[in-house]
Amino acid sequence: MKFARIDLSKTQYVLLKNFQLIVDPDPVELENLYNQYCKHKKFNSVMPLFPEEYTDPKSDVLGYYDRGQLVAFSLMHKYNKHNVEALQFAWDYKKPSLALGIKSLQNECAYYKALGYHYLYLGGADEYKSQIDGFEILGPRT
């Protein structure tokens, strides 16, 4: 497996209007969205998300809304003041025209770049992620 990140200095995305940092995340609501996402994707095996992950001081939960209703979220992990990782994205997929998969990544680039972060780590280097400006595949440790 190859791993990837976004060099935020190479991005020029703008924040979405239907997005906000969730200050007091509701684990039950987020778990429901995650379950819908996993069922929609027909995953054979999934890593559980634990309630403590949402409230960890190094975590951010970014919410995406449609008509005031939470329809998607990203769980982010801040390693330090320059590096953040997108741990999990989940979306109910009730309105595919929102195109939140790519738009959420672009939004997260804009959000963390504005906060002074340098890199957004993406985990696996999936093909769709390569559409994001600043996409880099990480090399071996030297």
**Nearest residue to 11 via CA among 138, 137, 135:** 135
Burial of 28: CB neighbours in 10 Å, binned 0-12, 13-18, 19+: exposed
Domain boundaries, the chain: 3-137
pLDDT at position 142: 77
pLDDT at position 141: 80
**Nearest residue to 88 via CA among 106, 51, 112, 61:** 61
pLDDT at position 25: 96
Structurally, at CATH architecture level, domain 3-137 sits in 3-Layer(aba) Sandwich (3.40)
Largest CA distance in the chain: 49
Pairing of strands 3-7, 19-21: unpaired
- Tens-binned pLDDT, residue by residue, of the chain (142 aa): 899 999 999 999 999 999 999 999 999 999 999 999 999 989 888 888 999 999 999 999 999 999 999 999 999 999 999 999 999 999 999 998 998 989 999 999 999 999 999 999 999 999 989 999 999 999 988 7
pLDDT at position 55: 94
